[in-house]
Structure 1
Amino acid sequence: MTQTPNLPIIYSTEIKSDWLDYNNHMNVAYYILVFDLAGVELVAQLGLSPEYTEQQKISWMVLENHITYDNEVSLGQEVDISCRLLDNDSKRLHLYFEMHARNADGSTYLASTLEQMAMCVDLKARKACEFPVDIMTKIEALADKHEALPMPDNIGRKIGIRRKPAAG
């Protein structure tokens, strides 16, 4: 799987002990937590911060996630999350996140990816709505920056067991 080049890190954290499972690596549920925290940071950078949501009653909600678990992460390890805007319209964001884990020697490796569809929501009506103009301007600027990047290999994957054809 190719990694997306030149994406800025939008969120970093250290793996905590209560995030580990009985295999002594990060439990699958906490990968979602880390990606969600990165998503909160991303939309805040676009202007859709918790404060904005409190004042305007406009927020974002996730419609769908596709996650890959490429390599383990363990207690105390630092992970960095980067994000690419793959596509957008007036109400939705198609996002791609990568989690890179840092080794003690400073090298990194791809630990996990998340493809996500998110939607702008009017919290008063509890319905989809268009992004406010000021936020849409920032989304369009981000889309322009990411437009020329190569499409990650695993976008739009479907899950299934690959079977070899029967001999004969």
Structure 2
Amino acid sequence: MSGSAAHGSSSAPQAAVYACRWRRDSVRAPDELVDYWVKKKDNTSSSMGEREASAHPSRRPMGIPTFNGVVYPSQTDAMGHMTVQYYIAAFDQAMWHLVSRLGYDPEWRNSRDEGWADVRYEIDFRSELRVGDLYTVESEVIDLGRTSLKSKHRLVARSGELAAELLMTSVYFHLKERKSISIPDAVRSGVRALTESSGATNVSA
């Protein structure tokens, strides 16, 4: 998304789960987003892995496909697997496709000075990807506020094994005034249609 960052470091072995949290200091989250995270503290204090320990992560389908990729040699590190910054890049591109599917027009960046700013990432790395591995990112909407959208993305290898999953919070953003603004009705309608088609009942649009 607009201005999102990438970090370079080695990913975790398959047996370990690392939580990586990153905050955009250059963008101030709106008051309602801060309040949201305070209210959700109990739910976000544990990792996604702990919250979904009863489900087999490599077998549970979810969301819609938003990005396809392949691991190139230049995307690996000294450990021989895809480095963290390319997981972030895949999730970032997936988010653009998700909001486009929801009704956001990328041309609005120019015609309306409206875009998105990511303010929170919570990532669990599940397994390694190596050179030549194909993967897909699947995405879904978890929550929708007045100015913020929370989404979940799963990066899945061609084998069906879960490689990483991300909880992302993004704020709808005025690119000239540099402040959060209300999410357009067109996007809200898209969220409603997507959640209804998937059978989700926990998202209010």
Scaled to the shorter chain, the TM-score interval is 0.7 to 0.9
Aligned-residue Cα RMSD (Å) equals 1.9
Q: Structure 1: which 5+ residue stretches go unaligned? A: 151-168
Q: Which amino acid aligns with 2:187?
A: I
Match of 2:174 among 122, 133, 138: 122
Displaced runs of 4 or more, over 4 A? none
Q: 2:151 touches 2:169 (CA, 8 Å); kept in 1?
A: yes
SS of corresponding position for 2:107: helix
The share of aligned pairs that are identical, in percent, is 25
Q: TM-score w.r.t. structure 2 length?
A: 0.66
User: Deviation of residue 52 (structure 1)?
Assistant: 2.4
Q: How many residues align?
A: 146
Question: What is aligned with 1:153?
Answer: none
Structure (1 or 2) with the greater strand fraction? 1
C-alpha offsets along residues 113-158 of structure 1, whole Å, 9 cap, x if unaligned?
00111110011211000012222221232233456379xxxxxxxx
Q: Which string of whole-angstrom CA distances, capped at 9 and with x for unpartnered residues, describes residues 67-113 of structure 1? A: 111000011111100012111112111111101011xxxx3200000
After TM superposition, the score normalised by the length of structure 1 is: 0.79
SS state at 1:119 partner: strand
Work out whether 1:7 is the aligned partner of 2:63: yes
**Whose Rg is larger?**
1
Select which of 168, 183, 195 maps to 1:131: 183
Distance, in Å, in 2 between the alignment partners of 1:31 and 1:38 is: 11
Alignment of 1:86-165 (within 5 A): 86-102=142-158, 107-146=159-198, 148=200
Instruction: State whether structure 2 residue 125 is matched by structure 1 residue 69.
Output: yes
Structure 2 unmatched ranges of 5 or more: 1-52
Hey, what's the Cα distance between the residues in 1 that align with 2:178 and 2:98? Answer: 22
